[in-house]
Homo-oligomer: A and B are copies of this chain.
Amino acid sequence: MSSIAQRKDTAKYHAILESAIKVMAVSGYHGAQVARIAREAGVADGTVYLYFKNKEDILISVLRETIAQIVMLSTWLEGEHPEPLMALHKLIEGHFATLGRNPDLALVLQVHVRQSDPVIREQVADMMRPYHRMIDRILVLGQETGAFRQPFDVRIARRMIFGTIDETVNAWIFTGAKYNLAAQTDLVYDMLLNGIGWRVELSAEM
């Protein structure tokens, strides 16, 4: 009479999760049949339901585990209290490193999540919230300490940061995940910091 929750740390639980990532990476969420996930994991169809409530629960679990890794950055950066420029660099690097290490998982996260029920999207948004909050904190701190230029909208900046990271990962996935994603860190970091324009008003200030 053990509940699903109590089985989360078994080897089989993780085998199914890994298998789900693999299958979903190839076929997407809707294309991923439970039977194939089970076979890939080397268990019977029914066994899947001993560890997960239903198919949606598998997807959410996959996302939770993945996002957890990314969100861990928040916690880590939180504890380290690095100065904002460094924090931004670490953030980008960590994000790229995490997904770069596991292309299948990146594919699921970037591409296949954004489908399925609004329910799932809502949950993903919830899970991402700490991450967004952390970006916001870095930005605010940077503005306060003078590490970043003063007058800009934090939300717009956060969307630029997140959107750029996202699109960089997408491009990497789309071209087949062939190059080293983390190696893009410096280029992206520089781009976000400096934008594409001259800083005429800056020279005026001097």
Task: Of the listed stretches A9-17, A75-83, A189-197, name the one at the interface; the rest are far from the partner chain.
Answer: A189-197
How far is A197 from B145 in the complex, measured between Cα atoms in Å?
Answer: 12
How far is A149 from B184 in the complex, measured between Cα atoms in Å?
Answer: 20
Q: Among B167, B187, B195, which residue has its beta carbon within 8 angstroms of that of A162?
A: B167
Copies in the complex: 4
How far is A161 from B168 in the complex, measured between Cα atoms in Å?
Answer: 11
Segment 84-98 of A: residues with Cβ below 8 Å from B: 85
Q: Chain B contacts of A39 at CB under 8 A?
A: 1
Q: Chain B contacts of A156 at CB under 8 A?
A: 168, 184, 187-188, 191
Chain B min CB distance to A105 (Å): 16
How far is A194 from B132 in the complex, measured between Cα atoms in Å?
Answer: 21
Chain A interface helix/strand/loop/mixed? helix
Given contacts A30-B30, A196-B142, A203-B202, contact A168 B157 (CB under 8 A): no
How far is A170 from B170 in the complex, measured between Cα atoms in Å?
Answer: 15
A155's nearest neighbour on chain B, judged by CB, is B171
Q: Chain B contacts of A153 at CB under 8 A?
A: 187, 191
Q: Does A127 contact B (CB under 8 A)?
A: no
How far is A61 from B152 in the complex, measured between Cα atoms in Å?
Answer: 39
Q: Quick check: B148 and A196 within 8 Å, CB to CB?
A: yes
For this complex, into which size category does the number of interface residues on chain A fall? 35 or more
Segment 162-206 of A: residues with Cβ below 8 Å from B: 162-168, 170-171, 174, 184, 187-188, 190-199, 201-203, 206
Q: Chain B contacts of A85 at CB under 8 A?
A: 197
Chain B min CB distance to A116 (Å): 7
Q: Does A51 contact B (CB under 8 A)?
A: no
How far is A163 from B192 in the complex, measured between Cα atoms in Å?
Answer: 12
Q: Quick check: A197 and B148 within 8 Å, CB to CB?
A: yes
Q: Does A4 contact B (CB under 8 A)?
A: no
Q: Known pairs A111-B121, A194-B197. 4 more at Cβ < 8 A? A: A28-B115, A160-B192, A161-B196, A194-B195
